[in-house]
Amino acid sequence: MHPDEPSHLIRDDADIDAGTAPMALPDELVPTPADAAETLLPDADAAVEAEPVGAVVEAPLELPDDPAEARDVLLEAFSETRRAAAGYAEALQRVAADYDNYRKRVERDRAEMIERASQRILEQLLPALDNFDAALAYEPQTPAEEKILDGMRGTHSQLMEILEREGLEPVDALGHGFDPAVHEAVAGPTGGGDDLVVDQELRKGYSMRGRLIRPSLVTVEATEEGGENTDDTERS
């Protein structure tokens, strides 16, 4: 045994061999239930479950002893509950309507964004379509040139079918009445009062789903109110 060790904490080897129980601690060293509770729960208020934020705690309804008065109190409480429920239902309907409007607006904005992106691509393809039109207007001089033009016609037709499925449409011009909303005239009569008709299309115009992308570049001639061309009237 070490000379500094307290004698009451040392067990004899004989006691250990005999299987005897260890010596009990003094009473002042044994923790009481109150000490254990204080150790495990230093703050008793923290163990209490907190009420949810914003929770409405309603006091229990106190009814008078008189049955008639109790009935009136219950009816008033029921009316207040119904009014509150109606207010909640109305608020829910407003939220649902606002969400439906938001969903429709998002879908509309998405469709417009896709359409604008498609329109930008189609606008960049217009010079290529103009080149096709210029090449197809050429009169072949040899069988080889005719074969080349046949191949170009097939490619141009296939390309136009794809673009038309995307909403591209050529503007009607040749032989139709002049419409300044979709036609751009570069030559024509200077006098007014006569109907104008497109007699030559210099460059095709295109629209996409009803929206004009580029007007047709045309020349116009005047016609009389009867609808006949001026040249035909002079010849008659």
Residue 173: which of 212, 209, 138 has the closest Cα? 212
One pLDDT digit (tens) per residue for the chain, 236 residues: 444 544 444 455 544 444 444 555 455 555 555 554 454 444 545 444 445 444 454 667 777 777 887 788 888 888 888 888 888 998 999 999 999 999 999 999 998 888 888 888 888 899 999 999 888 888 888 899 899 989 999 999 999 999 888 888 899 888 888 888 889 888 877 765 568 888 888 889 999 888 899 999 988 888 765 444 444 444 43
pTM of the model: 0.50
Residue 209: which of 123, 120, 119 has the closest Cα? 119
What pLDDT score does 48 carry? 45
183-187/216-223 β-pairing = parallel
- CATH says 170-227 is which class? mainly beta
What pLDDT score does 178 carry? 87
What pLDDT score does 17 carry? 46
Sheet of 168-170, strand order: 168-170, 206-208, 211-214
Q: What is the DSSP secondary-structure string of 87-125?
A: HHHHHHHHHHHHHHHHHHHHHHHHHHHHHHHHHHHHHHH
Q: Helix, strand, or coil here: 184?
A: strand
CA pseudo-torsion sign 73, 76, 77, 78: positive
Domain residue limits, the chain: 13-41, 170-227
